[in-house]
A and B are shown apart, each in its own frame.
Chain A
Amino acid sequence: MEDNYLTMDLLRFTTAGSVDDGKSTLIGRLLYDSKSIFEDQMEAIEKASKQKGEENVNLALLTDGLRAEREQGITIDVAYRYFATPKRKFIIADTPGHIEYTRNMVTGASTANLAIILVDARNGIVEQTRRHSFIASLLGIDHIVYCVNKMDLVNYSQQTFSSIKEELKTFSSKLRTKDISFIPISALKGDNVVNRGKNMEWYEGSTLLHTLENIHIASDRNLIDCRFPVQYVIRPQNDKFHDYRGYAGRIEGGVFKKGDQVMVLPSGFSSKIKSIDTFNGEIEEAYSPMSVALTLEDDIDISRGDMIVRKNNSPSPEQNIDVMLCWLSTTPLQPGGKYAIKHTSKDARCMIKNILYKVDINTLHRIEEDKKIEANDIARVSLRITQPLFIDSYSSNKATGSIIIIDEATNNTVGAGMII
Chain B
Amino acid sequence: MKNYNLSHLEELESESIYVIREVAAQFERPVLLFSGGKDSIVCYHLARKAFYPSSVPFPLMHVDTGHNFDELYQFRDQLMKDTNGRLIIASVQNSIDKGKVVEEKGINASRNKLQTTTLLDAIEENKFDCAMGGARRDEEKARAKERFFSHRDDFGQWDPKNQRPELWNIFNGKKHFGEHFRVFPISNWTEMDVWQYIKKENIAIPTLYLSHNRDCFERDGVIMAKTDFVQTK
The short answer to whether A and B are in direct contact, CB under 8 Å, is yes
Residues of chain A touching chain B, judged by Cβ–Cβ distance below 8 Å, are 5-10, 62-66, 68, 76-82, 84, 88-89, 91, 103-104, 106-107, 110-111, 218, 221, 223, 231-232, 234-238, 240-241, 244, 246, 248-250, 255, 277-280, 287, 289-291, 293, 304, 328, 340, 342-345, 398-399, 402-404, 406, 411-413, 416
A10 near B144 with CB under 8 A, answer no
Considering the complex, which residues of chain B in the window 130-167 have a beta carbon less than 8 Å from any beta carbon of chain A?
A: 137-138, 140-145, 160-161, 163-167
- In the docked arrangement, what's the CA distance between A244 and B175, Å? 33
Q: What distance in Å separates the Cβ of A246 from its nearest Cβ neighbour in chain B? A: 8
Q: Are B145 and A236 in contact (CB under 8 A)?
A: no
Contacts of A244 in B (CB 8 A): 53-54
B105 beta carbon closer than 8 Å to chain A? no
Asked if A413 meets B25 with Cβ closer than 8 Å, knowing A6-B9, A289-B6, the reply is no
Cross-chain contact B21 with A231 (CB below 8 angstroms): yes
A65–B168 touching, CB < 8 Å: no
B21 contacts A248, C-beta separation under 8 Å: yes
Q: If A8-B8, A218-B5 touch, does A413 touch B167 (CB 8 Å cutoff)?
A: yes
Q: In the bound complex, what is the Cα–Cα distance between A255 and B96 (angstroms)?
A: 55
Q: Are A77 and B163 in contact (CB under 8 A)?
A: yes
Q: A9-B11, A65-B141, A66-B160 are in contact. Are A110 and B168 (CB under 8 A)?
A: yes
Q: How far is the CA of A304 from the CA of B83 in the complex (A)?
A: 27
Please give the number of chain B residues whose Cβ is less than 8 angstroms from any Cβ of chain A in the complex: 55
For residue A398, give the distance in angstroms from its CB to the closest CB of chain B.
6
Q: Which residues of B contact A291 (CB under 8 A)?
A: 13-15, 17-18, 21, 50
Query: Which one of A9, A91, A232, A241 has the greatest number of beta carbons of chain B within 10 Å?
Result: A232
Whether B7 pairs with A81 at a CB distance below 8 angstroms is: no
Given known pairs A79-B144, A399-B169, the reply for A413 and B14 (CB within 8 Å) is no
A402 to B165, CA, bound (A): 14
| Complex interface: stretch among B32-40, B63-71, B117-125, B190-198 | B190-198
Contacts of B6 in A (CB 8 A): 9-10, 289-290
Contact residue among A255, A277, A290, A340 (Cβ-Cβ distance under 8 Å from B14): A290
> Is A279 a contact of B49 with CB atoms below 8 Å?
yes
Interface residues of B (CB under 8 A from A): 4-15, 17-18, 21-22, 24-25, 48-55, 137-138, 140-145, 160-161, 163-170, 172, 174-176, 187-188, 190, 192-193, 196, 200
- A287: chain B residues at CB < 8 Å are 4
Given contacts A89-B8, A289-B6, A291-B14, contact A411 B174 (CB under 8 A): yes
Please name all residues of chain A whose beta carbon is closer than 8 Å to the beta carbon of B160 when the two chains form the complex. 66, 77
Tell me if B53 and A240 are in contact (CB < 8 A). Answer: yes
A278–B49 touching, CB < 8 Å = yes
Can you give 18 A-B contacts (C-beta < 8 A)?
Answer: A5-B8, A10-B11, A63-B144, A66-B160, A68-B161, A78-B145, A84-B190, A107-B166, A218-B5, A232-B21, A236-B53, A241-B53, A250-B18, A250-B169, A277-B53, A344-B170, A404-B167, A413-B166
CB distance from B127 to the nearest CB of A (A): 19
Task: Enumerate chain B residues within 8 angstroms of A240, measured Cβ to Cβ.
Answer: 53
Query: Which of A62, A78, A89, A344 meets B141, CB within 8 Å?
Result: A62
Contact B21 A103 (CB under 8 A): no
Shortest C-beta distance, B46 to chain A (Å), equals 9
Q: Are A80 and B9 in contact (CB under 8 A)?
A: no
Closest B residue to A344 by CB, please name it. Answer: B170
Q: Contacting A411 at CB < 8 Å: which of B48, B176, B196?
A: B176
Whether B144 pairs with A81 at a CB distance below 8 angstroms is yes
| Contact indicator B137/A6 (Cβ below 8 Å) | no
Partner of A107, one of B52, B165, B172: B165
Q: Collect the chain A residues with CB atoms within 8 Å of residue B166's CB.
A: 107, 413
Closest CB in chain B relative to A403 CB, distance in Å: 8
Q: Sort A-B residue pairs by CB-CB distance and give the 10 closest, nearest first.
A: A65-B141, A279-B49, A10-B8, A411-B174, A291-B17, A236-B54, A279-B52, A89-B8, A110-B167, A291-B14
Query: A82 near B169 (CB under 8 angstroms)?
Result: no
Q: Is there contact, CB below 8 Å, between B168 and A402?
A: yes
Nearest CB of B to A420, in Å: 16
Cβ B4 vs Cβ A218 within 8 A: yes
Which residue of chain B has the shortest Cβ distance to A249 in the bound complex? B21
The answer on a CB contact under 8 Å between A411 and B172 is yes
B3 to chain A, nearest CB (A): 8
With a cutoff of 8 Å between Cβ atoms, the chain B residues found around residue A10 in the complex are 6-8, 11-12
Q: Check if A277 sits within 8 Å of B52, measured CB to CB.
A: yes
Contacts of A403 in B (CB 8 A): 170
Q: How far is the CB of B114 from chain A (nearest CB, A)?
A: 23
What distance in Å separates the Cβ of A156 from its nearest Cβ neighbour in chain B? 34
CB contacts (< 8 Å) of B143 on chain A: these are 65
